[in-house]
């Protein structure tokens, strides 16, 4: 599964119709969530049936395509099922301890993990009806919202694919305009000659990563470089009167800079991951829990700016595409253990050189990368959240946007390929 993304060109009234469809989708999602809260034992099929009730009660809901309403109900159920899974797994901060699953009282035990109502949705999703591709660069939406025919801007050609391959179509609002995404059920594997090389990667903040041969890639620090302009725009936004047009314009300018930073970060991760996987047969990397690392408030901004997990997702995606082995290694003691003799050499974060009694003197990160590669090669089987395609198939119970692997196409400068669980913007 992958996704093609095109920028939409349309008239102002069509943009307003898209906004109306997005608001309706948000309304249905929130109503389904409320229905689940008020009625014990409600399942995903009950939520799907409830969409028909909403269509009879509200005229604006009936204007939205029936399968788009069902997709909104699936989004509500996705948050509910994720909450129940966290309860079963006893995830810290995301569970309801001692609560009975399915009980309305379950929400008393959790504030952070309990499903919440959406306030600012930015997308509406259609399944297999309500739209039709008229040409490789135009699409028509036939529901009663009045979206009509939209022009698509991008270099990909939908003519290469059958319409039956398109499983969902999604309209998305971003800071710089509107986009149309096509979810396609197509194989993404590619034949690559073996390189005979294995590589271990140790990610960091001073260098984005260091491999087992001592090669380093500089950390681009996109957020840090744009921080001055972001703070300036944020100050201007705070001075504008709430509800005024000037405030809306200032907010849009700030959002565009944030969007640019996220695209720069993604572009860097895609190109670097493709290069690493293309020239290596086995890639070993740390299985880091970033959400735990960012609890260190001194390093949280730098860790988020580095986007280690995004890079890992891309490595795993290209591992599937090129048929390479990707191995996630537990990070414990990879920096402390000596890669030569195995003795523990304790170090603080400020100690950047590994010096052992066995006369082994290495850069701290290079030593860790060697240990990561050794641990990876000693692993039986293949690990990683998507290594060799694990967990990459589409499940009927889940919303499609949470599972697919996709190619992200916008206007020509931002064409790329992305793997995801997925977390839609």
Provide the residue ranges of all domains of the chain, joining segments of one domain with +.
10-122, 125-173, 198-393
pLDDT at 346: 85
- Residue 419's pLDDT band (cuts 50, 70, 90): very low
Query: Can you tell me the mean pLDDT for 74-81?
Result: 93
Q: Label residue 400 by pLDDT band (50, 70, 90).
A: very low
Residue 72 has pLDDT above 60, yes or no: yes
Q: Contact, 314 vs 418, CB < 8 A? A: yes
Predicted TM-score (pTM) of this structure: 0.79
The closest of 196, 215, 404 to 313, measured between CA atoms, is 404
Measured at the alpha carbon of residue 335, what is the angle toward residues 332 and 340, in degrees to the nearest 5? 110
Q: What is the pLDDT of residue 92?
A: 65
Alpha carbon distance 91, 86 (integer Å): 5
Percentage of the chain exceeding pLDDT 70: 84
Quote the CA–CA distance of 126 and 391 in Å, as a whole number: 24
Average pLDDT over residues 333-362: 84
Distance CA 355, CA 368 (A): 13
CA pair distance 402, 299, nearest whole angstrom: 29
Quote the tokens at residue 316: 């795993």
pLDDT recorded at residue 68: 94
pLDDT score for 112: 53
Q: Where are the alpha helices (DSSP H) in 179-307?
A: 222-239, 245-278, 290-293, 300-306
CB 151 within 8 A of CB 70: no
The token pair at 272 is 């670097």
Tell me if residue 153 falls in helix, strand or coil: strand
DSSP state of 63: T
Give the C-alpha separation, 189 to 192, whole Å.
10
Pairing between strand 123-126 and 2-9?
A: unpaired
Rounded to the nearest integer, the mean pLDDT of the chain is: 83
Per DSSP, 395 falls in state P
User: Distance (Å, rounded) from C-alpha 368 to C-alpha 286?
Assistant: 10
SS3 308: helix
- Using pLDDT thresholds of 50, 70 and 90, give the confidence band for residue 35: very high
Compute the distance between CA of residue 115 and CA of residue 177 in angstroms, rounded to an integer. Answer: 29
Q: Up-side HSE of residue 264: CA atoms within 13 Å toward CB?
A: 16
Q: Give residue 78's pLDDT band: very low, low, confident or very high (50, 70, 90).
A: very high
Q: Report the distance separating Cα 8 and Cα 152, nearest Å.
A: 5
Please state whether beta strands 198-203 and 282-286 pair in parallel, antiparallel, or not at all (unpaired). parallel
Integer Cα distance of 355 and 296 in angstroms: 27
Read off the pLDDT of residues 195-237 as tens digits, 9 standing for 90 and up: 888 999 999 998 999 988 889 999 999 999 999 999 999 999 9
Q: Is 131 helix (H, G, I), strand (E, B) or coil?
A: strand
Helix (H, G, I), strand (E, B) or coil at 203: strand
């Amino acid at each position: 599964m992958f996704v093609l993304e095109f920028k939409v060109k349309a008239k102002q009234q069509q943009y307003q119709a898209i906004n109306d469809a997005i608001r309706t989708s948000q309304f249905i999602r929130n109503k389904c969530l409320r229905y689940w809260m008020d009625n014990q034992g409600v399942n995903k099929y009950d939520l799907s049936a409830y969409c028909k009730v909403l269509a009879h009660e509200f005229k604006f809901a009936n204007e939205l395509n029936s399968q788009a309403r069902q997709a909104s109900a699936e989004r509500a159920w996705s948050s509910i099922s994720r909450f129940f899974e966290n309860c079963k797994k006893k995830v810290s901060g995301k569970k309801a301890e001692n609560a009975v699953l399915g009980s309305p009282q379950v929400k008393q035990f959790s504030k952070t993990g309990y499903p919440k109502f959406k306030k600012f949705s930015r997308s509406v999703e259609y399944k297999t009806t309500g739209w039709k591709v008229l040409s490789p660069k135009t699409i028509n939406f036939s529901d009663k919202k009045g979206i009509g025919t939209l022009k698509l801007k991008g270099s990909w050609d939908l003519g290469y694919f059958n319409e039956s391959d398109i499983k969902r179509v999604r309209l998305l609002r971003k800071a710089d305009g509107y986009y149309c995404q096509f979810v396609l059920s197509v194989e993404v594997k590619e034949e690559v000659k073996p390189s005979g090389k294995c590589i271990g990667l140790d990610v960091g903040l001073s260098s984005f990563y260091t491999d087992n041969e001592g090669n380093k890639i500089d950390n681009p620090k996109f957020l840090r470089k744009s921080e001055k302009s972001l703070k300036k725009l944020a100050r201007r936004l705070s001075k504008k009167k709430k509800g005024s047009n000037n405030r809306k314009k200032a907010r849009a300018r700030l959002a565009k800079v944030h969007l640019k930073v996220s695209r720069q970060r993604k572009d860097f991760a895609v190109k670097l991951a493709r290069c690493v996987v293309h020239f290596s047969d086995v890639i070993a990397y740390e299985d880091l829990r970033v959400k735990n690392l960012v609890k260190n408030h001194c390093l949280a901004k730098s860790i988020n700016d580095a986007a280690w997990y995004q890079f890992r997702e891309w490595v795993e995606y290209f591992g599937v595409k090129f048929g390479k082995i990707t191995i996630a290694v537990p990070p414990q003691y990879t920096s402390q253990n000596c890669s030569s003799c195995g003795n523990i050499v304790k170090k603080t974060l400020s100690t950047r050189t590994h010096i052992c009694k066995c006369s082994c003197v290495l850069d701290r990160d290079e030593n860790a990368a060697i240990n990561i590669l050794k641990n990876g090669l000693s692993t039986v089987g293949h690990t990683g959240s998507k290594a060799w395609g694990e967990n990459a198939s589409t499940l009927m119970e889940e919303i499609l946007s949470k599972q697919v692997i996709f190619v992200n196409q916008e206007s020509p400068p931002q064409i790329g390929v992305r793997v995801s669980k997925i977390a839609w913007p």
